[in-house]
Amino acid sequence: MVKEIRRTNGQEAIYLTNGASVEIIARTRSSGRGFDGIDVLVIDEAQELSDDEQAALLPTISAATQGNPQVIFTGTPPNPMKPVQGRVFRRVRQDGIDKRNPRLCLHDFGVHDGPLPDIDDRELWRQTNPALGGRVRLTEVEQERREMPPERFAAERLGWWGDPGTVDSSVIDLAQWAKLRGDAPSPEEAVLVVDVSPDRRYSSIGVAANVGDRTLVMVRHSAGTAWVVPELMKLVGRQNVLEVAVNGGQADALVPDIEAEGVEVERVTTREMGAACAAFQSGVTEGRVLHVGQPELDAAVANARTRMSGEIELWDRRDWSIDISPLVACSAAAFRWAKNAERDYDLAMSVG
């Protein structure tokens, strides 16, 4: 049935005499766009699939020629150190476990979730690797066992997804975050960043300043947006504010009112927000952040998730039921503080 095999880089495909074809493409945030009429979409190495890549691929089956499209995900348990890439595969698997999707069929050939299995149990190796001793060589698996960390061997060879009882779903280590809580004096100079939740239900003003060799972050947080500009003016009048900035989206609507008070406003770009997201996570891990234990900021940190937009990691705000605007505002403020702390500029002098 094979009519042609195309091996041109980026156009690999097998064309059949009945008009069907098998086409292979590399995954990116735009790959698959423009394709349609796909009956079966096979996503291999699904543990590396990101939300943006899935969003680009799924529409290819919406006009399936046979009218009964199928998506097949195959892969190994995701690396917990790569939470963004593994999120889609984890979500699909959990939907199968919880039977939330009547159209989903789940086949898991690995060991049960729970404590780390006995990774030296050869019988367990055979149960989870039916080709062991044939296509898969025992000597090579033994070498993997010697060279891989136990958790990665359990994931790669035994299909172990981890222990739900010990998994921290936040991208920020909450134990480490708790260690960074401390008392701090009111800063004499600071950077302020305004963020508004996507549904405009809440707003936050992130405050960042230096305390010794750490970056202090604090937040003003309340419902709605009407309070934001008056509170900003109080803060500007109380201390030397190096900069007032807004994170795009809903916060942009406040810019005219802020500028009407005589305050110059900077805008945090998407790329800067990506840098702020990464820098804040690193700052927490390395102990360079200080906070005062505000409940609204603690809750946002506990619910923090990230997503990839191209090559940029951003705070994930697609679940509107969770307000993470305190974290978004504070991380952006910390980033802008680091960028502007050397500037000798008193914003209060510009307020008319």
pLDDT at 352: 45
Confidence bin at 236 (pLDDT 50/70/90) = very high
Categorize the per-residue pLDDT at 35 as very low, low, confident or very high, splitting at 50, 70 and 90: confident
Residue 341 has a pLDDT of 61
Strand partners, 280: none
What is the structure's pLDDT at 65?
A: 86
In the chain, the domains with their CATH numbers are 2-98 (no CATH), 122-166 (no CATH), 174-350 (3.30.420.240)
User: Given this model, what pLDDT does residue 186 score?
Assistant: 84
Stated pTM of the model: 0.56
What Rg, from alpha-carbon coordinates, does the chain have? Answer: 25
At residue 165 the predicted structure's pLDDT band, cuts being 50, 70 and 90, is low
Choose the weakest-confidence range: 119-128, 159-168, 264-273: 159-168
Secondary structure of 65-107 as H, E, C letters: CCCCCEEEECCCCCCCCCHHHHHHHHHHHHHHHHCCCCCCCCC
- Span 239-262, mean pLDDT? 94
For residue 238, the number of C-alpha atoms closer than 13 Å in the C-beta half-sphere is 12
Is residue 58 over pLDDT 60? yes
Work out the percent of the chain whose per-residue pLDDT is above 90: 65
Predicted confidence band of residue 309 (pLDDT cuts 50, 70, 90): confident
**Per-residue confidence (pLDDT) for residue 142, from 0 to 100:** 96
- Please state which of the ranges 77-91, 173-187, 248-262 shows the lowest mean pLDDT: 77-91
Res 331: pLDDT:
98
The pLDDT of residue 82 is: 67
Q: What's residue 162's pLDDT?
A: 86
Q: Provide the pLDDT for residue 347.
A: 46
Q: Are 253 and 195 in contact (CB under 8 A)?
A: no
CA torsion through residues 294, 296, 297, 298, sign:
positive
Confidence category of residue 342, pLDDT binned at 50, 70, 90:
low
pLDDT beyond 80 at 328:
yes
| Phi, psi torsion values for 111, nearest 5 degrees | -70, 170
Sequence-distant (≥ 6) Cβ neighbours of residue 110 within 8 angstroms: 77, 128, 158, 159, 160, 161
7-19 average pLDDT score:
91
Among the listed ranges 84-88, 223-227, 282-286, which one has the minimum average pLDDT value?
Answer: 84-88
Most confident of 62-71, 78-87, 253-262: 253-262
Say if CB 304 and CB 170 are below 8 A apart.
yes
311: three-class secondary structure by DSSP? coil
Tokens 């604090």 locate to 218
Do the beta carbons of residue 60 and residue 32 sit within 8 Å?
yes
Confidence (pLDDT) at 84: 65
CA atoms within 13 A on the CB side of 351: 18
- What pLDDT does 141 receive? 96
Could you tell me which residues are beta bridge partners of residue 70? 40
Residue 345 has pLDDT above 50, yes or no: no
Is the model's pLDDT at 83 over the cut of 70?
no
Give the residue carrying structure tokens 């239900």. 201
DSSP string across 181-211: B---PPPSEEEEEEEE-TTSSEEEEEEEEEE
Within the chain, strands assigned E span: 2-6, 13-16, 21-23, 40-43, 70-73, 189-196, 202-211, 214-223, 240-247, 265-268, 289-290, 306-309, 312-315
Q: What is the pLDDT of residue 349?
A: 45
Is 60 exceeded by the pLDDT of residue 34? yes
* pLDDT range class, residue 343, cuts 50, 70, 90: low
Contact criterion met (CB below 8 Å) for 26 and 35: no
